[in-house]
Copies of this chain bind each other. A is one copy, B any other.
Amino acid sequence: MNKFTQVQKYMILISKSQIKLITSLHQKKYRDKLGLFVAEGPKVIKELLDAGIKIHSLFSTENFKGITQNFYIVTKREINKISYLKTANTSLAVFEIPSQRPISENGIIVVLDAVRDPGNLGTIIRICDWFGVTQLVCSLDTVDFYNPKVVQASMGSNSRVNVLYVSLREYIEKSNLPIYGGCLEGENVFSQSLPKDVVIVLGNEANGISKEITSLLTKKITIPQFGDQKKTESLNVATAAAIIISEFKRK
């Protein structure tokens, strides 16, 4: 009770313009226009701060170590009002979108062709981070890296992965690296010798890699299906990313 009374002293109401700003960042066009995105929960916010992503404003029901400027202690009800989540966390922060760094031509570069599900992109970002892959190239119709659901699913890993949205055809045509692509009709990834410097293309949830991009691949690879029945239609794209990236990394 004491703690509650203490917090109450600093409590302020979120202004209408702040609510409007935060709500607008749901949409990609406003994120692009304002160069801002939203992250929720102390864990994700802390990861982004540690990675040096610049903070714009922070709203929290509790104190937040190390942040003094543009920091607002708010009520649970206020957080609920601005949260994108079904169950609001204790804190919500607005961050500045970092400027795009160029993608360098070494190591593994993961390329996504029209991945649409935010959960899948977030999971792929975590997988890249886990395996030390810091370069991600996305087609223009891939879900936005700063979509709130992507930010939450990537659990702070987005602060360590450099992303570029670009025409894939142009990107691949300019690249000097071998272009491997995950395709159901590809060769067994487990029995290949795999290059260290490589572009790995993964495709859309329903349709895989587009025809146009498939025609540009150096090699098609697949994850072999085991079992007698072989009825599973496909693996989820994030599952495929996990197995394929781990296979390239360990070799």
Contact = CB atoms under 8 A, between A and B. Distances in A.
Interface of A: 47, 50, 119, 123, 126-127, 129-134, 155-157, 160, 190, 223-229, 231-233, 235-236, 238-239, 242-243, 246, 249-250
Given A127-B235, A236-B123, A250-B190, A132 B228 contact: yes
Nearest to A43: B233
Contacts of A239: 123, 126-127, 238-239, 242
Given A123-B236, A126-B235, A242-B243, A227 B155 contact: no
Contacts of A127: 235, 239
A246 B244 CA distance: 10
A184 to B, nearest CB: 11
Contact of A227 (B47, B131, B243, B246): B131
Contacts of A235: 126-127, 130, 242
Contacts of A160: 229, 231-232
